[in-house]
Structure 1
Amino acid sequence: MRTGRTAHLLFLADATSVHTQRWVGAMAARGWRCTVVSRLPHEVPGAEVIALGTGEGNAQWLAAAPRVRSLAHRLRPDVVHGHYITSYGFWAAACGVQPLVLTGWGSDILVSPRESRLVRLLTGWTLRRARLITADSRDMLTEIATYAPRARLEQVYWGADTDKFHPVAKAPWPFRIVSLRAWEPNYHIDVIVEAVALLRQAEPGAAIELHLLGGGSMEAPLRSLVRARGLEPFVHFHGKVDEDRMAALVNQASVSVSVPASDATSVSLLESMASGLPVVVSDLPANRQWVDAAGGFVVPAGQPAPLADALKALLREPRLAEQMGRRNRATVERQASRRSQMDRMDVLYRQVLGWTP
């Protein structure tokens, strides 16, 4: 490093999130000293974690800002990076330390500011203090630009681990449908269950399985729905699993489904594509950025019948599904491997510090 010491990245981010853990771990592996200030404690590979133990809600985030500012000035980082604009991003901006980098995650840009005038004002205040803002979809960057930030805007993907998520040889049966999304209302897991029920009615002799990863607050009603539709022998509730177990399940799947009501570029979508799967996704700008007719199906959010039709087409045409999977793998290798994206982010940090042109 030009400074003669290990440069220090201070992350304001949720230490319990696997996305935080992967990003910070990638930077630690590239030689940065990393500290994570998080509301809740959790181990982050390669980093010191400072847990503040604060409560949730706008009032608590605002009240903790002076404490975060004092901590940041004591740590004296080279770069402050806030992940999730409407919470940790606000804390990062409140530190008053430059250069400030911010990363939008999705709902913090596309949903929350539209639901509260206070949140929208704080979002604009936060964004206008950054030198660099990243997001993983064009629609997010377009929305960020409406706040007139003075920062450089860059599209940076979380990326998929193309070593762990990769195509494997598999038998044509059973037809394994996998969902990696959280069991929360936004992700329409109930719609996936209903679509599988319709698919089984249309293809009564087919060996069909649904594998649900992610976990969440909707587990009880989802299990009730599965029982009501007579799907218990065919639906597997895996919940939250580590990345190795997730990769094993995804690599063995036949198709991946992701049909949320709102989303930015989904890491789980990129991971599914890296595994060489055809994908069925909801009709959102971020999904259309990755999926076209050559890689899968785009269906209306919240509607089981079109989803069931897309799954039926893939079940009946395995050669088409294979072609789509090859296309998706090539797309991720070319544009969204985690290694290449984190290499790029390493360069961006150096640029905001003036170390590289």
Structure 2
Amino acid sequence: MNSALYLLENPLIRGLAGALIVVGMISVSVLILIWAERKIIARLQHRYGPNRAGKFGILQTIADGLKLFLKEDITPAGVDRITYSLAPVLCFALAMIPFIAIPVGRNYIVADLNAGILFILAVASLSVIPVMMAGWSANNKYNLLGGLRGAALMISYEIPAGLAIIGILVQSGSLRLADIVEAQRDGWFILPQFLGFAAFLISAFMESARPPFDLLEAESEIVQGWTTEYGGVKFALLMFGEYTHSVLSAMLIAILYLGGWLGPFDSSLWLIIKALLVMIFLMWVRASVARIRIDQMLNFGWKVLIPIALLNIVIAGIVRLHYY
């Protein structure tokens, strides 16, 4: 009994257990969401979508994953082998790390950090590194163009996303995500912070490179962009990491603007439902909006979103002074 208690109280054991739980839960969630997205988009486009592997095609994502993991791991000639092989692992790791600071409920969190939102933004900003590594190391012009596009987009849209969150910090008075949720008991921040919400929503999902904002890949322009020379397990890790960023964005939007786990009764179920609704909205956007040009996206980020985010900070400051 004493040895069991020691293991539970050991920070290293608790950290490893928490990490395994996070990776397991996010992995299962991503697999289900990929299947759901394919079915939803198919219905929006008057198609059936996956309907062969398992009931309603529920096993299709698992079949695709097995196919990728069982493929021969081919390394093209002329690549920088270390950087080429390290990029998928780093992409997957950096996508998972922010979830340790995401509170699923009031007492359900791996690492309850006082500056949790800063930690998440700091780690998320590193996601440009594996994109550049994959783009440069593959010795392919399409990979390089995709990597450069990724760097330009991520740098451009991190600024309005960070500025949009400042309004949240002004209203909540805390950097701790649980405190931000509790500050919304009298009303979600989506209404007083609507400009910030719009700026963060657009920034987060453009930075996640989801269609129709997937200019890092842009099959109609640069083949598969930064992942062109990748296949098998490496490609699976890159795509899994990229999709996980979308899940992280949906969770953050639910926590920062939609009251997190607050509802008729406090429950982690409300957070999951809100994040799922955000993901469904993005699926609908993917099925409905055509891909725009890279210069249009960059201009929109610098000339529209940043001024909107700055205006939101001014409004949040005025409201704070007026009521407090």
Bigger relative contact order, structure 1 or 2 (CA pairs below 8 A, ≥6 apart): 2
In proportion to residue count, which structure has more helix? Answer: 2
TM-score with structure 1 setting the length: 0.26
TM-score with structure 2 setting the length: 0.28
